Structure 1
Amino acid sequence: MRVVSPILLAVLCASVPCNIARAESGSLFSQGNWGGARGGLIATPALSRDSKETPSLFVGRGAAGLFAERPAHEPAFDTASPVLVQGSDVARLRALIGAAESRRDGYEAVQHGARVKTPKPPTQMTLAEIYRWIEETPGQPHAIGRYQFIPATLRRVVAKLGIAPNTRFSPAVQDRLADVLMAEAGLHEFRAGGLGRVAFMNNLAKIWAGLPNATGKSHYHGYAGNRASITWARFDAEMARIDPVVIAGHGVE
């Protein structure tokens, strides 16, 4: 076996960064990802718990990795009133979004990519308990509930409504939070005829990755494995049933 002399080693480390004494990496099979041993097959740089970056399964892709959270959306109507909205159109929208986002588990849904699930069903948890779960399980997606709230959106909308941390994440609370997002997408403007159906649909698609935009794909298609789970034709047909312009002109029920 050839022995590398200390002098040669020093020369090599001067030209190529070395850290023989200590090298950490986040691996495809490392503890903290899938629970295997350290030193797996695909190594990625280790991130501190306070890092704002999201670990990727593929080196160099950063937040676009398979288990990354999608980016937080920017409200189209940031000044939208957070007051409770009601009506048959709201009920239809909730059902449509639920079908696109959490068809199987509804209000108890936790993003399938989350390796560490919630300690109990989401509707039995308080908001504070959900926040704790998020903080204690970094490096995995945390979309939760019927409307698949991601952490940044959940915290923002809860703060906007002034909901206390000890409030249970009940179906009624989830509906109320989703109603705020629908208002931010332009529900009031859509109802008043000041925002067209396609524009409103595109705004909704920027919030919920399971909904397609006018291209027929999710606004987040390919990002962290997201894709639309319903077709544009179905989305448009459902929205036509609540479009005030269509209803006024064609008598749609």
Structure 2
Amino acid sequence: MTPQPILNLIARHESGGDYDIVFGGVPASARPGRPITTMTLRDVIAWQVAAVRAGSRSSAAGKYQIIRRTLEATYPRAGMVPTDLFDVAGQDRLGVQLLRGRGWDAWCAGALSDVSFADALSREWASLPVQFAQQGGSRWVERGQSYYAGDGLNKALTSPESVLEALKACREPVAVEPPAPEPAAPEPAQGPWAALISAIAKLFGGRNG
């Protein structure tokens, strides 16, 4: 099993795959002073607190658009410490941990259905749709809507089927290309006399065979 297909789908709709992106509604005066991939977890959390205090409706940051309270709860479970970087490797590590928090291990073991796991992911990432009609975060939502629809901030950006297809792709074995054959060793160069003797030997050897 590989989580990459579902992580790719999530990132495509949450951030466009941008590790340095932050919520677009952050006031200009409160935007990060440097790329967040160069910041530690502690620095990112401090910035998220400041952004919300400055009036931002969300503290979402990075490829997986992780909000402050989720980041604070997730990084220790991922075996990370406050001084670790919120860089590419760190964000991908957090993304995998978020999958695990919604049932990745149980799903891999066959103890959780595709629909149930996909629906659980819709509670983690607002761009993913619910798989069946249910009570959402603020109102009743239909299949295909965001769990958080109606909050004035979020909506589903893909279909229930696309999430199920990404999970299916997680199960497909990763193709491993066979190693390229080693180039044949070149024949040693021959001088003119050696080439002539070799040709005569082949000629008479062929007649005697």
Count of residue correspondences:
158
Q: Distance in 2 between matches of 1:224 and 1:144?
A: 19
Structure 2 residue 144 is the aligned partner of structure 1 residue 216: yes
Q: Distance in 2 between matches of 1:188 and 1:155?
A: 22
Structure 2 residue 35 is the aligned partner of structure 1 residue 107: no
Select which of 99, 108, 130 maps to 1:182. 99
- Indicate if the aligned counterparts of 2:6 and 2:163 stay in contact, CA closer than 8 A: no
* Percent of pairs with identical residues: 30
CA shift digits 1:172-210 (9 cap, x unpaired): 111111111111111111111111000000011100111
TM-score scaled by structure 2? 0.70
Q: Following superposition, which runs of at least 4 residues in structure 1 exceed 6 angstroms of deviation?
A: none
Q: CA RMSD in A?
A: 1.9
Amino acid at match of 1:181: L
Q: Distance in 2 between matches of 1:165 and 1:176?
A: 14
| Greater Rg by CA | 2
How far off its partner does 1:162 sit? Answer: 4.4
CA shift digits 1:39-92 (9 cap, x unpaired): xxxxxxxxxxxxxxxxxxxxxxxxxxxxxxxxxxxxxxxxxxxxxxxx5x2111
Q: Distance in 1 between matches of 2:152 and 2:46?
A: 23
CA shift digits 1:107-165 (9 cap, x unpaired): 11101121232111110111122122123231311100100101000011123334222
TM-score scaled by structure 1? 0.58
Amino acid at match of 1:177: L
SS in 1 for 2:19: helix
Which protein has the bigger helix share? 2
- Indicate if the aligned counterparts of 2:20 and 2:36 stay in contact, CA closer than 8 A: yes
Structure 2 residue 15 is the aligned partner of structure 1 residue 92: no
CA shift digits 1:200-253 (9 cap, x unpaired): 00011100111111110111112241001112232222223335xxx6xxx9x9
Q: Distance in 2 between matches of 1:146 and 1:205?
A: 16
Aligned to 1:84: none
Q: Distance in 2 between matches of 1:232 and 1:161?
A: 28
Where structure 1 has 5 or more consecutive residues not aligned to the other structure, the ranges are: 1-86
Q: Distance in 2 between matches of 1:235 and 1:90?
A: 12
Where structure 2 has 5 or more consecutive residues not aligned to the other structure, the ranges are: 132-142, 176-209
SS in 2 for 1:237: helix
SS in 2 for 1:160: coil
Q: Distance in 2 between matches of 1:179 and 1:240?
A: 17
SS in 2 for 1:132: helix
Structure 2 residue 105 is the aligned partner of structure 1 residue 193: no
